[in-house]
Structure 1
Amino acid sequence: MITRSLLRVFLPCALAFTLSLPSIGSAQDFPSKSLRILVGASPGGGTDILARVLADKFSAGLKQSVVVENRPGASNTIAAALTAHDQPNGLTLLVATNTGQAIAPHLIKLSYDPRKDLQPVGLVAIMPNVLVVPSSSPYQNLKELLAAMKGKPGELKFASSGVGSTQHVGAEAFSLATGVKAVHIPYKGSAQAHMDIISGQVDMMFDSTSSAMSQILAGKLRPLAVTSPKRSLALPDVPTLAEQGITGADVNTWYGLFATGGTPPAIIGRLHDELIKSLQMPDVQARIKGLGGEIELMSVEQFTAMNRNEYDHYGQLLKASGIKLE
């Protein structure tokens, strides 16, 4: 028979033992089954490529299959919504860009809050945007292009991969900084835009290096400036906008890994560790460098702060530029 005195000793010990056991969903039993990585863009683009690189490395590191699912549309927010509304168990991940995380939320009514319903895991890569013209363009440098824009206001055309994309926002930021405007021609993706730029139907584009590098290396597009604070490692001979006297127009494309909001911290930590390990692998670094990207290792806390700061920054920029979905 258990006496009250024994209970006073036994119950606290039992409780302490129970609390010390790994909880369901802890890093110790994660993952117990396959994972999926959602991508808000079509196959073959920069987001898709990075997601498949991570899927391969995560599969090996976590010893579970990892499937990439493409859910393009609505400025990357379809895939984001699916992630936001899933179970917070770390098994559904999202490779997102600042288009979906920091720009689209100010333009589209969403069924989720990207700051609360998507948990940052870590920064994957930063792709500087680059101002390009066709190789047949008469404009050999930024000074000549600006002179033409001022001499023919509203006549030159710039392409983007869609309203509210970083390409579109980058061009509008450039307009605000210089006081000159061009006509926006939105496309459904960079590949379609490149065809019209190369053929001379469109004059320029503020594209991400991940999309433009292959055409630049093939000699079909001429880079005039990068829109990052410092020169791109992939395009070291191309000056920044700031170096050419234009400030306040820095717009990059970044890619980050997110989980469903409410995912236990232990699982987020496990995923973050796997991400950092993957980003330090030479073949992964070479792949990202080949896309014109750069790796900056961040803690979960640092990336969370960056995500929130970007949300606020683009909210102010969109308000100043007057960009709206038509």
Structure 2
Amino acid sequence: MKRKLKFLILIFSILTMCVLSSCKEDESRPTFPLSAEIFHSVAGKQVAFTALTHSAENWTWDFGDGNTSTEKNPVHVYEEGGYYVASLTASDGAGNSVAKEVNLAIELTPYALLTGDHTADGYNGKTWKLAASHSVNDKLVNSDASLSLMDEDIEYLPTGAFDLYLGLAEAYNDEFTFYYDGSYRQNTTDGSSFGGIVYAIVLQQLGLTTITKTGGEAVFGADAFALSTYTPKDNATFVFTESEDFSIPTIPPFATGVQPPGIPIVTYPGVMTIDFPGSTAFVGVRDFHRKVIVQEITDNSMRLIMFLTMSPDAIVSQDPLIALSTTAMILTFSVVN
């Protein structure tokens, strides 16, 4: 009996020491203040979010597209690609809260690539300018369905072509800024714009511009391009279409159809376009035809197809003004950092 009592006393002592030791550990364990960080991983349009928090008991997520969650580590699928700001608000039992956010680029659409990250601090649109370096894809072509080379001997434009061969280095100066809300801004650093000479002559005859410089005679046998005075209008807008069948008036040998009242047209099916309806605004090359085809676009580069009328004979009507395209220019534009 005594042996059993001693054994019970020993067990009680051990348990007491353990409890006291545990209490001391609890008393010495630090209490971390409420904090939160966000970890995320992206796969296509799906994003897995992880809340890295201390002392939090509740988690509220706003994914930036109108959807929310109260899970600690949610997975969210965005319906559309683009730029988003996802935010986390973590709170503790005492009602304290802390917020964090993260900027996301989800399967960027062509429109997002064109206009830039509108969620970034200090966003002021995305600015592009004609790349003087050019590429093997930069060409002078006919405005036919296949965009065949205008001159078989000129397979592509070499670096600085508008400066070296036309004497119009100013062609590389203009900047074109696209905004997420559809507004548009141009910057002509020298007060002039680069474009086709036929269009510049027509505007000069109407008293709407003054030609300041011409070029192209050495290459084409006659001046084909010009610099003319231009003041960009405020409150300009643009329209971006990701896929459409785009038709433009062209000379009869290039036509794939006819539109009333008997105007020959060429149609480019399923192309991306930028247009400036009801405006004198343009991008790249100033001519009768302001709507352009976006042949390719990435985060830092885009390639546009712009149409020109290079023969006075291609102006088939003055009222309304109808000018048939004779030529197209495929040019690369780079982002201005």
**Same fold flag (TM > 0.5):** no
Greater RCO between the two (CA within 8 Å, min separation 6)? 1
Q: Which has the larger radius of gyration?
A: 2
Higher strand share: 2
Higher helix share: 1
Name the TM-score, length of structure 2 as normaliser. Answer: 0.27
